[in-house]
Chains A and B, each alone.
Chain A
Amino acid sequence: LAKTTQPISMDSYEGQEVNITCSHNNIATNDYITWYQQFPSQGPRFIIQGYKTKVTNEVASLFIPADRKSSTLSLPRVSLSDTAVYYCLVAGDDKIIFGKGTRLHILP
């Protein structure tokens, strides 16, 4: 299983773009990169996934370089409600392991 490394915590201000980078040097050919968001007292929520290049949905964008050894989750114009823990994980046809995540704190 590919191990992921991401910052423990980040602070940002409302209205800013937030980028959270995750490294996964040992990613396998068949692995997908997936990001989850977790609010207090709730289960994690899938927000975006990708294999390579760029993926965008209504919540976020995910940038993956050609070597796929890292990925960056981009949250445009964050608000206070984006304060949460964000998990990066790499998933193949196997069990899904969560790391410690990045605790994002949005300030007014």
Chain B
Amino acid sequence: DARVTQTPRHKVTEMGQEVTMRCQPILGHNTVFWYRQTMMQGLELLAYFRNRAPLDDSGMPKDRFSAEMPDATLATLKIQPSEPRDSAVYFCASGLVIGTGELFFGEGSRLTVL
């Protein structure tokens, strides 16, 4: 059963530390999205890639967040340095025919920054 895999599932860290979240999209999917979810803001789009190229990362705080796709099987989201306001659940999603809006989400990485 194909699925999007995210690691770590949970991360607790201290302010100022670097955090890296990883995502393995479904094999064959050419588009990857990163979202952040909090109670206050809901699901926010941070960045998305098509064929490994970043198309839009306007939702990310540029000074501390970075997103990359080193290869077709791995997407990474890095926060350096982390801050308490970054505490949220981070979701990765992949898709093939984005025009229809069909995405497959991972289970998320819950980040707590103390």
Contacts and interface: CB of A to CB of B under 8 A. Distances in A.
Nearest to A50: B100
Given A99-B42, A100-B42, A34 B99 contact: no
B12 interface: no
Contacts of B33: 95-96
Contacts of A41: 108
B98 A46 contact: no
A91 B45 contact: no
Interface residues of B, number: 22
B103 interface: yes
A96 B99 contact: no
Interface residues of A, number: 25
Interface in B93-114: 93, 98-108
Contact of B101 (A34, A42, A100, A101): A34
Contact of A34 (B4, B45, B100, B105): B100
Contacts of B4: 43
Contacts of B100: 32, 34, 49, 91
Most B CB contacts (10 A, CB to CB) among A43, A92, A94, A98 go to A43
A32 B98 CA distance: 10
10 contacts: A34-B100, A43-B107, A87-B43, A91-B98, A91-B99, A92-B99, A93-B98, A96-B48, A96-B101, A98-B43
Interface of B: 4, 33, 35, 42-43, 45, 48, 55-56, 91, 93, 98-108
